[in-house]
Amino acid sequence: MPVNPELYFDWAATAIPDQDILEAALKESLAAWANPSSVHAAGKEARAALEKARSDCAAVFGVQAKQIIFTSGGTESDHIPLLAILNRPEKGNVAVSAIEHPALREMAEELKKVGIECRLIPSDKNGFVTPEAVLQTVDAKTLFVSVMAVNNETGAVQPIQKIAAALEEQYKGKRKPRFHVDCVQALGKIPIDFLNEPGLDSAAFSAHKICGPRGIGILYLKKEEEIFLRGGGQEGGVRSGTENLFGAIAFAKCLERHAITAPVAETKNGGKTKSAARLEEQKEWTSSFIRGLLSIKGCEIIPKARGVLSQEATFGASDNFSPWVVQASFNKIPGQVMLRALDAKGICVSTGSACSSKKASRPILEAMGVPAAQRETSVRFSFGPKTTQAGMQALLDAVKEVCAAFN
């Protein structure tokens, strides 16, 4: 049975694809079907199409085309810069935030097996990693630092620019650890205007979070560096393997449609871009949705401070939390029970990261100090381009019905 897009609230797991973009990208990639690394005419045609997609992506981000590396997705874009430290003669340590996605947190833990210490940068109770927490975790032997831009479970927007500046100042005149940012949940949701920050070295992006296909990602690399993984030398030697031309073309088109790359995000005539205007609209809808949740007995927003903020008239303009993700707990109703009850009503939600859906633990909430009982009753609601105000009201009404059945 097809899912009504207006009742799909698991956009943080994957976005509903833009069919027109995927069809157009497939048509273009079928026309340029050869291997982009081949030197004959057909190969050169495919290479030209690939490089156009790269240039188009770079133009959206305001960076150089050579800084855009196509990968298989967000996880690989996280792994490449992290594993590059294996080229270093010294062992040292890596510092990743305690609220990081498993793609980084668990890979960093694995490095212990080869003698590299993994340090977790603590989060505060509201899900934020401060520059001070980062500086207190790193030292002269730190090789790599990672803090995600937007948390995938709470929507907390991390102070990336302040962290980048703090690291730059801390290591002035010394060897600075690589600062990497996982932007997978930020892309298309908040302005991406920090790639050119002096202290930031790399960033990861994934197409399927912004209505593109799965299996294609971008690694932004500020400057060339020696990569640990080897192969055929594609993507400037950074990411070997025959290039996914269809994915690259589709990603570029999705970026042009959905990315928000500047604080004002204005068009040439001075008005807001469609994506920027949609962001402001979602802020208001989410504020109203949170207030509705708080009217339900036993419901609490995670973190609690976000629920307090939602009562303020200025919350609609708040940049502390992404309006596209809301985490809430429902007293005595297990998250899985809420999920199944809503699913029976044709509504899709989740209990956290799709990558951790088969695991009982909730490490992000645990890092925030959320009690075990509350972690077990928490649910994530996430929104996207096809979300409507009417759909969010239907979600709220359905949640109220489920809660009433348990009281």
- Cross-strand bridge partners of residue 220: 68, 203
Q: What is the β-pairing status of strands 142-146 and 178-182?
A: parallel
pLDDT of residue 359: 57
Report which residue type is found at 269: N
A 10 A CB-CB count for 312 gives 11
Tokens representing 103 are 């793609």
- In whole numbers, what is the pLDDT of the chain averaged over residues? 92
The pLDDT of residue 291 is above 90: yes
The pLDDT of residue 36 is above 50: yes
Compute the distance between CA of residue 17 and CA of residue 208 in angstroms, rounded to an integer: 7
Residue whose entry in the numeric block shows the structure tokens 């009201």: 393
CA-to-CA dists, residue 24 to 250, 261, 294, angstroms: 8, 24, 44
Nearest Cα to 257, choosing from 195, 203, 212, 323? 212
* More confident position, 149 or 261: 149
pLDDT of residue 1: 66
- Cross-strand bridge partners of residue 325: 382
pLDDT of residue 310: 62
Compute the distance between CA of residue 35 and CA of residue 32 in angstroms, rounded to an integer: 9
**Helix (H) or strand (E) run with residue 120 in it:** strand 117-121
- Cross-strand bridge partners of residue 182: 204
In angstroms, how far is CA 152 from the centroid of its own chain?
Answer: 6
pLDDT of residue 268: 47
Residues 146 and 100 sit within 8 Å (Cβ to Cβ): yes
Compute the distance between CA of residue 209 and CA of residue 70 in angstroms, rounded to an integer: 15
Residue whose entry in the numeric block shows the structure tokens 């497939």: 26
Phi and psi (nearest 5°) for 260? -120, 110
Tokens representing 325 are 């993700």
**Average pLDDT rounded to a whole number, residues 7-17:** 98
Helix (H/G/I), strand (E/B), else coil: 76: helix
Residue-wise pLDDT tens digits, 356-373:
445 567 999 999 999 999
Angle at 406 between CA 401 and CA 407, to 5 degrees: 95
CA-to-CA dists, residue 108 to 77, 80, 98, 216, 335, angstroms: 14, 12, 11, 22, 29
The model carries a pTM of: 0.93
The pLDDT of residue 264 is above 90: no
Report which residue type is found at 57: C
Compute the distance between CA of residue 401 and CA of residue 398 in angstroms, rounded to an integer: 5
A 10 A CB-CB count for 271 gives 11
